[in-house]
Structure 1
């Protein structure tokens, strides 16, 4: 059964891409075909093929269905700044409708497990009038939230979960990703999150010095299985 999710984070440094790549790797290890997309990315490098983003390349490496880079990351900007500012400086208008059409190309491949990764947190601007969350709303996909576990994460996680649900989308689950190894009262914070979050905790990933997809996938196997089990219908 084909599944697709929009994956977002509590903020820019929550570890969305390492978790997304790990989920894709774990899904492949469970014999699922995989595909991912990073519609908008800033902080890209000039390569022989043009501007490319390391996050998008990491997702492509864990996608068993191979698509051209331009389909995986249709909007790539060089400065490592907010996407709407990077787009303005490049003279590009980021339109929700254009992002939606680009995403359909990926979703129509009907991989068993598809991820569309956002940029930064939930309410990242695309322009003066639109947000990345508006794009997520048009897709109508269930959302996976990566919680970057550090001081302040409880507030960030609860507010983001509330925003996702207020936007009319299903929060399929959240993943605790320990980004601060010195986070005070780590276990107590995790207990509070599990009590207060309005969706299941799919996985807990400890602070890792090596964030290769196969290593991260070790902590995400149960989460992928849980997602597969909870999906009663296809999203295609």
Structure 2
């Protein structure tokens, strides 16, 4: 099992939107919990929230909250909630909100003060997600110097997306400590061949391989994770 030592806070990014970052974050949280490691999760920005009696709520952020071993409020997990399911910087403009790097940093500090051994941070969209007209979410990850876990949505076209994203993260001066192959379809042609090429090109261990699942609510996703947080 690959051992993670660099930091207790890990940033999970994807090759694109809708590649299963939340499922992969849930798998990482469940795996750490099984290893008796205390966990928290952070999804600083969520676009596509439903208006409830408790305020705006995002399904993915709720999943993360449910899988934390340390009690935490919804707002702590997801401080920036946007109702429209579109690019966050556009949604923020339409909803008269502003996304600032310092707000994202403040939210992470709140979680870090709770003394969880592992904090899983889920990004939004892909690596170069715009936050406003000048800044991207990757700017924040670079400033925080967070180790990165790359989620590859295994489908036709994933090789280009995965390698470009990986190379960009490395060129930004950060370390990819592992990558996850998330099978988006049951019948991807030449899946193993694609997996082998990515394993050869990405200088980081394959730390999880998640099969295509029709329902993940009651499935122990930790079984698909192959690294130790200890």
Q: 2:18 aligns with which of 13, 17, 22?
A: 13
Q: Give the match for residue 130 of structure 2.
A: 125
Q: Give the match for residue 4 of structure 1.
A: 9
Q: Give the match for residue 155 of structure 1.
A: 160
- 5 Å-filtered alignment, 1:1-236, equals 3-212=8-217, 214-220=219-225, 222-223=226-227, 225=228, 228=229
Offset from partner CA, 1:2-38 (integer Å, 9 cap, x none): 7210111111111000110111011111111110010
Q: How many residues align?
A: 225
Gaps of 5+ in 1: 230-236
Gaps of 5+ in 2: none
Offset from partner CA, 1:29-48 (integer Å, 9 cap, x none): 11111100100000101111
Q: Quick check: 2:9–2:119 contact (8 Å CA) kept in 1?
A: yes
Note the C-alpha offset of 1:215: 2.6
Q: Give the match for residue 233 of structure 1.
A: none
Q: Which portions of structure 1, spanning 4 or more consecutive aligned residues, are displaced by more than 6 angstroms?
A: none
CA distance in 2, matches of 1:145, 1:39: 18
User: Structure 1 or 2: larger helix share?
Assistant: 1
Q: Quick check: 1:25–1:213 contact (8 Å CA) kept in 2?
A: no
TM-score (norm 1): 0.91
CA distance in 2, matches of 1:106, 1:139: 14
- Partner-residue secondary structure (3-state), 2:167: helix
Q: Quick check: 1:26–1:214 contact (8 Å CA) kept in 2?
A: no
Note the C-alpha offset of 1:177: 0.5
